[in-house]
Each structure stands twice: as structure tokens, then as C-alpha cells.
Chains A and B, each alone.
Chain A
Amino acid sequence: MAKKIRSAASTGEPTLEKKHTKSVRQRRFFWIGFGFALPWIIGFCCFKIYPICSAIYYSFTDFNSFRSPNWVRLDNYTNLVQDKYVIKSLKNTAYMVIIGLPISISFAMLMSLVMNIKAKGMPLVRTILYIPAMVPSMASALLFMWLMNSRYGIVNQGLKEFYSIIPQAVKDFLPFSFKPPSWINDPKWTKMTLIIMGCWGCGGTAVIGLAALRGVPTHFYEAAELDGANRWTRFWRITIPLISPTIQFQFIMGIINMFQYFTQAFMFNMFTTTSQVTGGGPSDSLLFYAINLYREAFDYLHMGYACALAMVLFVIVMIVTFVAMKVSNKMVSYDIE
């Protein structure tokens, strides 16, 4: 794209000066680009390089955060491969990325569409939809556990009601007898509970989606309407392509964040198990990669090992993100004419 602009801009100029102008322009653009990116470059040099490099260095040492580290070569990495908690936590994290991410992104997009409905009182509706994301995480986690309580929680009450209106004749054909899930204590359901909780607190992601929807110029819709396109076609042909960069953003950020899933699980484990050591929920079903990493770094003081864990995670996320970028780039269009 950049090339196009440059060549388009220089076509009007005499051919003799072309080469010279080009290099001048190039240099000028370099300084402009550099200047605009300078705050980030400074921040990166001063506050990112050192922490990242030291984390890489520590990953080859037995650093415990107090004593000066000793070089242990690849020991941390070889231990890591045999660590059963690492394998367990990777499985749990993969569940969140593969199952949790699509659910939460689709739900967030749905919410941004709802926020974009034209109706009276929408400012209030938008504010309300954002409330779970504003309430302190402790309060919302507590409330959520109350909602999902398997005995009396609203969710299971609703499920029971729903089951009771199914006619007996149909029930006889069902291969199973219905029992509402134990959302908080059953290792099979705990991760799903966190995913649902994520959907409920999707305000932040939804608001970004809303901003994208707001950015779609209305004349596109007007033109399409004149062409006789119905709502459905307009949605798929105009809305989705135009907000595809945002969807891609949410998708990529979702991958990065899901691999580092921490806060909600940490909170959840804190309320369900009262242990002096960071726990992993029922049968370690909520032992995510970052939880395990935190436990190694701060409960066991294996900072060096935790850094090795972080590096492995970094590589995994990098590969997944790279693939996701390559695949999704084909589906994203930045301009529509």
C-alpha cells in the first residue's frame, strides 16, 4: 500500500529528479515514522528490554528472587518437560483457548450488536451491559458463584424449570436423566463456568466492537438499501467486512490473553479452596499455565523455573498467534469500495 502511495505521488515529477527525490522522501519518512514511534521506542528500550532479557537470563539460572542467580544451563527446560503440573496446566489452558475463546468472542460481538440497536434508553442499556466489567472482580466473582450455585442458583433453577416443562413422553426417549450440573465443584464443569463468567463480563470487548460498528460509515448502508439488499445481506456484506479488523484484533488479543488466563481463576480458587498455597480448583481442573507459573514463582520461589515456563509459553503463543495472523489476514479487509 505504501509503495502505491509513493509511486502515485511521484509520477507527476520529472524523471531526472525522481531517484533523488525518492531517497529524500524515504529519509524524510524514516524520521517522521521514527519520531512518531519514539515514545514507544523509548519505553521499549528503558522499560521492556531489561525485564525481558533478565527473564530470559533467569530462565537458565536457579534464581529465587533473593539470592544472586547461579547458571544451571538447560536444567529448567529439561525439568519442565517432565513436570506433570506443566502438562496438566497446558491441557487446561488449551481448553480455554480452543473452546473458551470462540464462545467469548462470539458472545462479545453479539453484545456489541445489541449495544448498537437503535431504541429509546440505549445509553442506559449500554451502561448496564458494561456493569459486570466495572464491578470489582472480587464482588462479581462472588456474585457469579451465587448465580451458578448448583442447589439454588438462578441458572440451575432455570434449567430445572426448563426440564420440568418438557413432556414426559419426550423425557422417556432421552438417553440420560437430567441433573443440573455442579458448576463450581465438578471438575468437568469448572472451566465452562469461568467461560460463562467471561461472557458475562465481556463489556470491555463489546465496547470495542461497538466502536467499530460506530465507525462504519452510514452511507454504505444507505447505498446497499437502495440496491435492495436485506438486513441479513447487509450484515454479512457490509458490517462484517468493515469491522473485520476489529474482530481480528479481538481474536489475536483473545489468544494472547487466554494463554495467560490468570485473574479470574486465581479469584475463583481463592473462594472455593482455603489453602495457604495457590490452588488449582477441584481436581486441579483450574490449574492454568499462568496459575502454575505464579505458584512456582511466588509460593515455591522458583523464579528461574518460572521464567523458563514463561519462555516456553512465549514460544507457544508466538507460534499460535503467527498462524492465526496468517490465516485471518486473508479474511480481513481494510478497505471496502
Chain B
Amino acid sequence: MTKRKTSPLLMLKRFVVNVIKYVFLVCLCFIFIMPLLWMLSTSLKANAGLMEFPIKWIPDNPQWGNYAKVFRIVDFGTYIKNTLVTSLTPVLGVLLVTPMVAYSITMVPWKGAKVIFPIILATMMIPGQVTQIPMYITWSKLGLVNTYVPLILPFFLGTPYYIYLMRQFMKGLPNSLVEAARIDGANDLRILFSIIYPLCGPVLTTAGVLVFVGCWNDFSGPLIYIQDSAKYTIAIGLKSFTLSAKTQWELLMAANSVFTVPLIIIFFICQKQFLGGIATTSGLK
């Protein structure tokens, strides 16, 4: 693109387009960053109400003590340690297993593929509220209640949502690739992990991030399966806090900020991988 000649008129045009673009982006960002700003500013107020008109984005007298209080009341250290276990392992599971299952139903010509896919879709159509108790009974029979296994193992057994997502992406890949590799004598594990896997870079990273965020935010699963407070995760910590802080919005929002900021940082770092996706894909011919 830089190869083009730069005439003054073109430069002006590009300048105007850029201005419009950035103004648009800034406005949009403002709408989307509001929850964070609001959370942070409320968390620094004293005796804050929820509805304030007009809103004061910068509190007169920032109460940093609210954060100290939150850390004093809730044991975030232990919770974060536990949460890393319950949210990083599922990422590993999803990245490892879902491409395999998706590969089986898209790239391998076998009869099961046509049967499995509709079943995968169908399993998502039954509301979780009615399978919750039988699920709990299953885990309890296996003696795995009050461990992290019920929270982690399902991700190693193929998550329907991500299998479907992977399937859509793999169907878009040229079949000739796999076929050529098979003729070259590569086995399917190698085809999957050294050819397909890199091609799915962007979607895999996306799935990883989504799973991480989902597990980080999930409090209903841990609340059902974990019975020992030493094993509680940060989402339960937050819920706990909500239960006892009631309408002390400033403390509640301080806790929410402590909960969210690490996530935002992780996302910010990870999304560089989305960019990384381009190079790999465009390298393909």
C-alpha cells in the first residue's frame, strides 16, 4: 500500500478518512469502556450510591482504603491460585481435544462423522437446569464431588460449542492439503498437529481466550461441586462478597475491579496472537 504515489490530494483524503475513523473508534470505545471506568470510579468513592446523576467520573477524595478493605475481607490470594487451576487446565483441554474431534468429523471419511455431529448439536439443546441434578449424581457416584475434576474433565472430553466452531473452520480448509499429506504417508496425528493446527491459529487462540474468560467468570459450577471453602475460586469469592457487602457499592465495585483487571490484562496480551494469525494464514497458498 505504501507503494502508491502520495499526491497532496490523496494525502488530504487519507487524512480525512483517518480522522473520521479515529473519531468513530474513540466514540465506540467510550461506550464499551464505560463499565470499567464506572466500576473503578465507584470503587474509589465513599458511601456511594448506584445511581448518580450526573456521574462523577473522578471522585473528589479517592478512597484507596476500599481496596485495602476488600483484600482484608476476602482471601483473594488463595482464590486466585485455585482459579488458575480451574481456568487454565480447561484451556489446555479445549485446545487439545476439540480440534481432534472436529478433525474426525470433517477430515476423516468415516461413517460416524455424520452421526456424531447432529448428536453434538443436540446435546446443546437440552437446558442445563434439568441435567444439573443427574450430572451431580454421576459425579457423586464417581466420588469426585469436592474436587476440581467435574470442573475440568468435561473440557478434556470435547466441548460441543467449540467442536462446532472448529468444524466450521476446518470445513473451510482445502481438503487437498490433507489428501496430499496422506499420500506422502503422514499419519493423521501429524496432519492434525503440524498442518491443520497452525492453520487454525486465530480460532484456536480465540477459543482458548473464551474458555479462560468463561471459567474465570463461572461461579455456578464451582458452587455446586466444591464444598470446601479452601478450594473456592475467585468467582465464588466475588459472589460471597456480594452476599455480605449487600448495598455497599463502593466495596462491591472494588471487588469487581480486582476480579476483572487481571482478565483484561490477560486478554490484552493474548490478543496479539490474533494478529499473529494473519501471517500464518496468508503464508498458505
Residues of A within 8 A of B (CB): 1-6, 8-9, 26, 29-30, 32-37, 39-44, 46-48, 50-52, 54-55, 58, 65, 114, 117, 119, 123-140, 142-143, 146-147, 149, 151-152, 200, 204, 207-208, 210-212, 214-219, 242, 245-246, 248-249, 252-253, 256, 259-260, 262, 290, 293-294, 297-298, 303, 306-307, 310, 313-314, 317-318, 321, 334-335
Residues of A within 8 A of B54 (CB): 152
Q: Which residues of A contact B206 (CB under 8 A)?
A: 207-208, 210-211
Within 167-199 of B, Cβ neighbours of A (below 8 Å) are at 168-169, 171-172, 174-175, 178-179, 182-183, 188, 192
Residue of B nearest to A52 (CB): B126
Q: By the criterion CB–CB under 8 Å, are A47 and B157 in contact?
A: yes
Does chain A have a CB within 8 A of B263? yes
Is B33 at the interface (CB under 8 A from chain A)? yes
In the assembled complex, the Cα of A147 lies from the Cα of B109 at a distance in Å of 52
B58 within 8 Å of A (CB atoms): no
Are A126 and B271 in contact, CB atoms less than 8 angstroms apart? yes
Per the bound structure, the CA–CA distance linking A126 and B273 in Å amounts to 12
Considering the chains assembled together, what is the distance between the CA atoms of A152 and B252 in angstroms?
23
Contact B259 A50 (CB under 8 A): no
B260 cross-chain contacts in A, Cβ below 8 A: 134-136, 139
Contact B34 A147 (CB under 8 A): yes
**Minimum CB–CB distance for B193 against chain A, Å:** 11
Closest B residue, CB atoms, query A335: B174
Say which residue of A9, A135, A310 sits within 8 Å of B129 (CB atoms).
A310
Whether the Cβ atoms of B138 and A200 lie closer than 8 Å is no
Task: Report the Cα distance A317→B119, complex, angstroms.
Answer: 13
A127: chain B residues at CB < 8 Å are 264, 267-268, 271
User: Mind listing 28 A-B residue pairs with CB under 8 Å?
Assistant: A4-B175, A5-B179, A34-B112, A37-B104, A37-B158, A46-B138, A119-B21, A123-B268, A131-B35, A133-B213, A134-B213, A134-B217, A136-B235, A143-B38, A146-B51, A152-B54, A207-B206, A207-B274, A208-B210, A214-B202, A215-B277, A215-B281, A217-B284, A248-B168, A249-B164, A256-B121, A306-B130, A317-B125
* B272 on the A face (CB < 8 A): yes
Q: Which of B106-142 contact A (CB under 8 A)?
A: 108-113, 116, 119-131, 133-135, 138
Contact between B203 and A132, CB atoms less than 8 A apart: no
The chain B residue with its CB closest to the CB of A249 is: B168
Residue of B nearest to A54 (CB): B134
Task: Tell me if B238 counts as interface (CB < 8 A to partner A).
Answer: yes
The answer to whether B34 touches A204 (Cβ under 8 A) is no
Neighbour of B125 across the interface among A8, A40, A321, CB < 8 A: A321
Collect the chain A residues with CB atoms within 8 Å of residue B91's CB.
none
Q: In whole Å, how far is B238's beta carbon from the nearest beta carbon of chain A?
A: 6
Residues of A near B38 (CB, < 8 A) are 143, 146
Q: Is B179 a contact of A37 with CB atoms below 8 Å?
A: no
Q: Which B residues are closer than 8 A to A by beta carbons? A: 18, 21-22, 25, 28-29, 31-36, 38-39, 50-51, 53-54, 97, 100-101, 103-105, 108-113, 116, 119-131, 133-135, 138, 154, 156-158, 161, 163-165, 168-169, 171-172, 174-175, 178-179, 182-183, 188, 192, 202-203, 205-206, 209-210, 213, 217, 235, 238, 242, 252-253, 256, 259-260, 263-264, 267-268, 271-272, 274-275, 277-278, 281-282, 284-285
Name the distance in Å between A257's Cβ and chain B's nearest Cβ.
9
Provide the bound-state CA to CA distance between A217 and B268, in Å.
24
Which of A32, A137, A310, A334 meets B217, CB within 8 Å?
Answer: A137
A-B CB proximity, top 6 nearest: A43-B157, A2-B109, A33-B110, A40-B158, A36-B104, A51-B134
Nearest CB on B from A51, distance (A): 4
- Smallest CB–CB gap between B177 and chain A, Å? 11
Nearest CB on A from B6, distance (A): 18
A215 to B168, CA, bound (A): 12
Distance from B134 Cβ to chain A, minimum over Cβ atoms (Å): 4
Contacts of A33 in B (CB 8 A): 104-105, 108-110, 112-113
B154: chain A residues at CB < 8 Å are 43, 47
Complex contacts, A40 vs chain B, CB 8 Å: 97, 101, 116, 120, 157-158, 163
Chain B contacts of A134 at CB under 8 A? 213, 217, 260, 263-264, 267
**Cross-chain contact B282 with A117 (CB below 8 angstroms):** no
Q: Which among B110, B165, B192, B217 has the highest number of chain A CB atoms within 10 Å?
A: B110
Question: Nearest residue in A to B220 (C-beta to C-beta)?
Answer: A263
Cβ contact within 8 Å between B112 and A30: yes
Alpha-carbon distance between A29 and B275 when the two chains are bound, in angstroms: 35
Interchain CB contact under 8 A, A204 and B210: yes
